[in-house]
Structure 1
């Protein structure tokens, strides 16, 4: 009897010490673990700001896209899931099988799908799949202004053009909401937990005029067809303010499907390529001459009938010009004048 009582007392003392350690000494650690298991901070994405032309016509829009993900280590039959995805979306079963075996914790199987492309799949969703509904970039004008505007990656971050240049302003700041979790890990509706409202991205308005942009694209395309040229580029500016009204280079690409076009067409060659200014620089020399009263608008110059030798080099005109006034020299782009 004494032995049994002694054993019970020692067991009680040991249990008491263990409870003291769990509740007092290690209490904060276990409370933190319990809180993590019972609660989850779920991000609330911010809506990306849009880009508009000078007349407030949208050059970008945000539309809803659907992504399908899963936790591979919780899938009972990965092969069945891979076959189901393959039957609907058309990729090979091996494509999905590799994703399920490569990332065992979490992986996306399909991303950024239009609702029309996955409507029936959503109605009969295979077990174990997670559906994410996100805002995604759409370019309503396709190839019009694509090189200038640029495009975003699957996570809605700017990759090229103005989308990349002003990404920090367009992106905004994501918010979050704390949700209580059930024993199975699913979020429960409970509004008593803290939230942080997302800060949507800022909109940007350009000096670009969409109507002029369309006209410039059409004219560049027409001239390529007429001359069998490899490429063409152009820019329209307001001479009074310097505001850029249109900017384009052909061949171009559709910003909604950039991967379908060669990378060379993604470049905004108006900005990236270097060319000699040629006759366009005559305006600079003419403006300087007028500013410092070296010539006047009524002064005439003899243009040597279209050919003049200077410093051993022959300067030619495209016409055999004789006497021309200063404005006529600019109007006719006379090299000799």
Structure 2
């Protein structure tokens, strides 16, 4: 009996073991079948991903040329050094490389430690020729080090037009200026190819059958003229040396097209050394700074009053011997004036005369006028960072605004707004959009066809005032301002110059009241008066040398010098109404530029 039970127990165990073995073999066989026939494609993809590497083929960024084809920005090929941390064996090479490239040894060693399992780590990108030669002289023996070629942006003119151009960062992305505004056109479109790597990460095959070529970037032709830009920047440097301002800027415009011929700001920087750029130098004050325009706003108020029929050109005003009360506020002129004509109110820059014109316009008329000339809104200049300026809502204006606005207070403008509005006066009352782009050339260096229009903001020609009003303001009061008024230091031999000075007090940060020490000195001028071709604006923020910071004294002479050189460079015929006996000197200067 016991024997039978024992045999049954053994038989049951045997069958159990047999079943387990069969089940195990079934599971293994099923897994093998799955791997062989079902999961093959999936695992093949995993292996392929480990072996196949998609390498980017960078597009070459397009060039930037000035209006005459002079090169402002281009792209060259440079070498970048990398290391494969997995293969790095000789520590002495690390020390030698850091010394050659002036890298912090401890910091680099920390990076190596953090990436010791990686197959790629940048050491330094876009080496200079001196750095490249220094690395080659080390004769690095192991295969842990290597070079990759990358595109590097180069600016042949250095700091010229730095704020207008902007730059491209270490990864080739546009930062500031035209480089940022038109990055989508300049950068092009990257291509790619596939590389086959072995288990150690080494490339063993390049698959060109699936290669996608890069499309190089577009070349931009800008409205800037390098020669005029150079004239402008030299004058700004002279202002810095003589008056030591916090900042300054200048803009030169073509009156007929509103094209920007030059745009400069100080402090400035060298585009080829972005690592040395300070925050204050990076700001393009021509479009990204606001200030109360002072007397440079006065011609627009007179234009509006004339256009609305509230003022006659030959009308006279009692300027109250230099004191005039509006509400509880007592207005003053710099001198005690009696009766002044409309022309002399602008020539002598009488605040009281302007306040009385403001009373005729009333606050709604003043508000409408400043908006019509483009203040309180962006001009549409093709640059990033443009500010709108400040025009407060009409509901917040009061009786003091009636006198302040005509004097250029209680309103803040940008330099680009101010010169664009003055172009309207010089161009028979037509307000245009400022332009920086002339043309766009594709990656094969062919101009775009009519089917591919240049992607720039369309030019707008909006009549603000009648040609009669605009021409009279330019030819009479603004020309007289230079001949015998506050802009006398801007007179030129050979050309009849028109212009307007501006001396605006700035609020004291501590008291909030207007300071007698902090000023914005500005001057805008153009020529020839009978047929304006060029307009120049110079704005000087907080000059710190001297006591009299009048716009005609500080900004007038450099603005006139820029205007004179630009007119002669462009071979604009002398204006007969501006000829003087000493014009032989002017002719000699002009001939020297030919």
Compare 221-230 and 287-296 and name the one that shifted more: 287-296
How many residues are treated as equivalent by the alignment?
327
- Residue 89 (structure 1) aligns with: 101
CA deviations over 1:132-166 (Å, ceiling 9, x no partner): 11001122222222122222221111233332233
Flag structure 2 segments of 5+ consecutive residues without an equivalent. Answer: 1-21, 354-594
Alpha-carbon shift at residue 310 of structure 1 (Å): 4.0
- Residue 84 (structure 2) aligns with: 71
Secondary structure in structure 2 of the residue aligned to 1:112: coil
Q: Is 1:180 matched with 2:196? A: yes
CA 179–107 in structure 1, closer or farther in 2 if over 3 Å, else same: closer
CA distance in 1, matches of 2:132, 2:253: 44
The answer on whether the counterparts of 2:319 and 2:340 sit within 8 Å (CA) in structure 1 is no
Could you tell me which of 56, 59, 71 is aligned with 1:46? 59
Q: Is 1:21 matched with 2:21? A: no
Could you tell me which of 78, 92, 96 is aligned with 1:80? 92
Could you tell me which of 20, 24, 44 is aligned with 1:31? 44
Alpha-carbon shift at residue 195 of structure 1 (Å): 0.9
- Residue 301 (structure 1) aligns with: 316
CA distance in 1, matches of 2:262, 2:103: 40
CA deviations over 1:147-202 (Å, ceiling 9, x no partner): 22222221111233332233233222211012334565433465652111112222
Q: Is 1:314 matched with 2:331? A: yes
Alpha-carbon shift at residue 46 of structure 1 (Å): 1.0
Instruction: State the TM-score, normalizing by the size of structure 1.
Output: 0.83
CA distance in 2, matches of 1:20, 1:279: 90
Compare 41-50 and 84-93 and name the one that shifted more: 84-93
Could you tell me which of 308, 321, 339 is aligned with 1:292? 308
Secondary structure in structure 1 of the residue aligned to 2:264: strand
CA distance in 1, matches of 2:254, 2:196: 58
Secondary structure in structure 1 of the residue aligned to 2:79: strand
Secondary structure in structure 2 of the residue aligned to 1:264: helix
Q: Is 1:252 matched with 2:264? A: no
| Aligned residue runs from structure 1 range 150-229, under 5 A | 150-182=166-198, 184-188=200-204, 190=206, 192-229=208-245
CA 320–54 in structure 1, closer or farther in 2 if over 3 Å, else same: farther
Q: Is 1:270 matched with 2:286? A: yes
Q: Which has the higher contact order (CA 8 A, sep 6+)?
A: 1
- Residue 124 (structure 2) aligns with: 110
CA 211–324 in structure 1, closer or farther in 2 if over 3 Å, else same: farther
CA distance in 2, matches of 1:206, 1:303: 49
CA 327–242 in structure 1, closer or farther in 2 if over 3 Å, else same: farther
CA distance in 1, matches of 2:339, 2:274: 54
CA distance in 1, matches of 2:318, 2:222: 43
CA deviations over 1:220-258 (Å, ceiling 9, x no partner): 111222223333222222333333222222111112212
The answer on whether the counterparts of 2:322 and 2:333 sit within 8 Å (CA) in structure 1 is yes
CA 118–192 in structure 1, closer or farther in 2 if over 3 Å, else same: closer
CA deviations over 1:112-131 (Å, ceiling 9, x no partner): 11234312523634421131
Q: Is 1:119 matched with 2:136? A: no
CA distance in 2, matches of 1:303, 1:189: 90
CA distance in 2, matches of 1:89, 1:306: 71
Compare 240-249 and 184-193 and name the one that shifted more: 184-193
CA distance in 1, matches of 2:252, 2:318: 31
